[in-house]
Structure 1
Amino acid sequence: MAGPKLTKAAIIESLHEKHGLNRADIHQIIDEFFEEVKDGLKNDQVIELRGFGTFEVRTRKGREKARNPKTGAIVAVETHGVAIFRPGKELKDFVWELRDNKPVNEND
Structure 2
Amino acid sequence: MMTYTKRDVVRRVAEAMDEPMIKVEPWVDSVIDSLRSIMLSADTECRIEIRDFGVLEVKETKAKPKARNPKTNEVIYVPAHRKTHFKPSKLLKEFLRQPLEDVKKK
State the 1:81 CA deviation. 0.5
Tell me which residue corresponds to 1:13.
11
State the 1:100 CA deviation. 5.0
| Cα deviations by residue, 1:39-89 (Å, 9 ceiling, x for unpaired) | 33333431111111111111112224342x7xx254432211101111111
TM-score when normalising by structure 2: 0.71
Flag structure 1 segments of 5+ consecutive residues without an equivalent: 104-108
Flag structure 2 segments of 5+ consecutive residues without an equivalent: none
Structure 1 consecutive aligned stretches of length 4 or more whose deviation exceeds 6 Å: none
Query: Structure 2: which amino acid aligns with 1:58?
Result: K
Tell me which residue corresponds to 2:60.
59
Q: Is the 8 A contact 2:46 2:59 kept in 1?
A: no
* Secondary structure in 2 matching 1:85: strand
Tell me which residue corresponds to 2:97.
96
Tell me which residue corresponds to 2:22.
24
State the 1:18 CA deviation. 4.4
Tell me which residue corresponds to 1:49.
50
Query: Structure 2: which amino acid aligns with 1:38?
Result: R
Query: Structure 1: which amino acid aligns with 2:93?
Result: K
Q: Is the 8 A contact 1:60 1:80 kept in 2?
A: yes
Q: Is the 8 A contact 1:40 1:46 kept in 2?
A: no
Query: Structure 2: which amino acid aligns with 1:63?
Result: K
The alignment covers a number of residue pairs equal to 98
Q: Does 1:36 align with 2:34?
A: yes
**Pair 17,50 (structure 1): closer, same or farther in 2 beyond 3 Å:** closer
| Cα deviations by residue, 1:15-54 (Å, 9 ceiling, x for unpaired) | 3344442323322211211222223333343111111111
RMSD, aligned α-carbons: 2.5
State the 1:98 CA deviation. 6.0
